[in-house]
Structure 1
Amino acid sequence: MKYKEEPLLTAPHLAESVALGAKLARLRHARKLRQVDAAARAGLARSTAVLIEKGDPSRTLGQIFRYLEAIAPGVTLLASQQEADPALTALAHAEATQRVRALSPTELGALDF
């Protein structure tokens, strides 16, 4: 029998579930995998992958492990949460905003045609 897990969990545990899903989604994005491809590799429906990435606490631990293995083979759940993966580092660097400074009057004058 299926039932909702949300009413049975505390707010911090629900937040952890959502954070786990967000980190798995970020890892998948960093590895440049489409959600449908990751789900197929894990033997899951895409709708299940969506629920995992949303942090649905009703997903089984087995489903989460299979999804993680499909995204990042050999990476443990703990390592995925520590965000030490090189793909995540590259993604963070690409997302980092670049500081742009104002041009000095001399530099502006050099650009004047």
Structure 2
Amino acid sequence: MKKPQKAILTEPLSSELTRLGERIRRFRLARHLVQHEAAIRAGIARSTASRIESGDPSVAIGQVLRYIDAIAPGKSFDQLYRDDDPAEALLQHSERRVRARSLSEGRKKELDF
């Protein structure tokens, strides 16, 4: 009888798969790709792409590697975890909170109409 993959995994391995899926999702978002487009490029179903990004252990490693290659051609699996990706740096920059500051008197006069 076939057992569900999630039931067989230990908690650390399950957490690692979840982190991997999140990393792949951020990799895709940093390149402004929607999940459906990335899945088509990889030759997989959108539901499979969703399972990859959610850390589903039943997805074949070949599908994961094709999905990564579709998102960023030429990038290797270990480059996924490096922090030197320029697209990821731009995504992090855009996600940073920007504090609201009050306008200077000169800027207030400039905007007053």
TM-score above 0.5: yes
Q: Secondary structure at the match of 1:64?
A: helix
Gaps of 5+ in 2: none
The structure-2 alpha-carbon separation of the partners of 1:111 and 1:20, relative to structure 1 and needing over 3 Å to count, comes to same
Which residue of 2 is the match for residue 93 of structure 1? 93
TM-score, normalised relative to structure 2: 0.86
Does 1:57 find its partner at 2:57? yes
TM-score, normalised relative to structure 1: 0.86
Cα shift at 1:109: 9.4
How many Å separate the matches in 1 of 2:26 and 2:62? 20
Gaps of 5+ in 1: none
Cα shift at 1:84: 2.2
Which residue of 2 is the match for residue 71 of structure 1? 71
The alignment's C-alpha RMSD in Å is 2.0
Aligned residues: 110
CA distances 1:37-65 after superposition (whole Å, capped 9, x unpaired): 11111110011000000110111111110
